[in-house]
Amino acid sequence: MEGKTVYFESPGVENTDETLRIAKKRAEELGIKTIVLATTVGGTAAKSVDVFEGMKIIAVTHFTGMREPNFQELTDENRQKFESKGGIVLTTTHAFMGIGGAMRKKFNMYLLGDVIANTLRIFGQGMKVVCEITLMAADAGLVQTGEDIIAIAGSGRGADTAIVVKPVNTNDFFDLKIREILCKPHF
C-alpha cells in the first residue's frame, strides 16, 4: 500500500484551507463520514461545516475555564454558525489533562497524561491534539470505536494536521490506531 502525506513548511493557521481540503478528499476516497476537529474560538469549526457538508462533524473545544474561570473561548457567533449547519460541539475535560492538570498546577507534578502528551508532541502539537480529541469524542459516544474517522487539529490556531484514525475510549488508549497521516508540519 502506498499513500501520500503532505508536509507543510511551517505550522499554523495558513494551512487550514489545505488541511481541510486534504481531509475531505481522503474522507471521500475511503468513504469516511465522521470528522472530528479541534477548535478554540471556532474559526476552523465554522469553516469546516461548508467543506464537510453532509458529513458528521464534531468540533472539540477547550474546556470551560481552561484560560480563566467560567470562560468558554468558543465564540457564540462561531458556535451558532457551526451548529446551525448540523455541527456538534463537544466541550469536556481534555483526555491527557484530567485531574493530572490540577496536580501540575497546584504541586508542579507531572503525571502520566503529561508524559503521553509530551511524547506525542515530538510529532508536532497537532498530532497530540488529534489523538486527544479522538479519545474525547469516543468517550462522549459521538464516534464509534472500531470505525475509522478523520481527526484534524493544529499548532495553535487553525489546522495543520490531519489523520485517519481508529477511535478508542480513553481507558483503551494504547489500542488507538493512527492509520494514516494525511498532513502535518515539517519541523
Q: What is the pLDDT of residue 96?
A: 93
Give 41's pLDDT tier (boundaries 50, 70, 90).
very high
- Residues 39/59, Cβ–Cβ less than 8 Å: yes
Rounded Cα distance, 53 and 58, in Å: 12
User: What single string gives the DSSP state of each residue in 85-133?
Assistant: TT-EEE----TTTHHHHHHHHHH----HHHHHHHHHGGG-HHHHHHHHH
Entry field: residues in the chain:
187
User: What single string gives the DSSP state of each residue in the chain?
Assistant: -----EEESS-SGGGHHHHHHHHHHHHHHHT--EEEEE-SSSHHHHHHHHHTTTSEEEEEPPPTTSSSTT---S-HHHHHHHHHTT-EEE----TTTHHHHHHHHHH----HHHHHHHHHGGG-HHHHHHHHHHHHHHHTTSS-TTS-EEEEE-SSSS--EEEEEE---GGGGGG-EEEEEEEEE--
Instruction: Give domain 6-185's CATH number out of 3.40.50.300, 1.10.630.10, 3.20.20.100, 3.40.1380.20.
Output: 3.40.1380.20
pLDDT at 187 over 90: no
Q: pLDDT per residue over 17-30, tens digit each?
A: 999 999 999 999 99
Give 110's pLDDT tier (boundaries 50, 70, 90).
confident
Give 181's pLDDT tier (boundaries 50, 70, 90).
very high
Q: What is the pLDDT of residue 109?
A: 86
- Residues 86/49, Cβ–Cβ less than 8 Å: yes
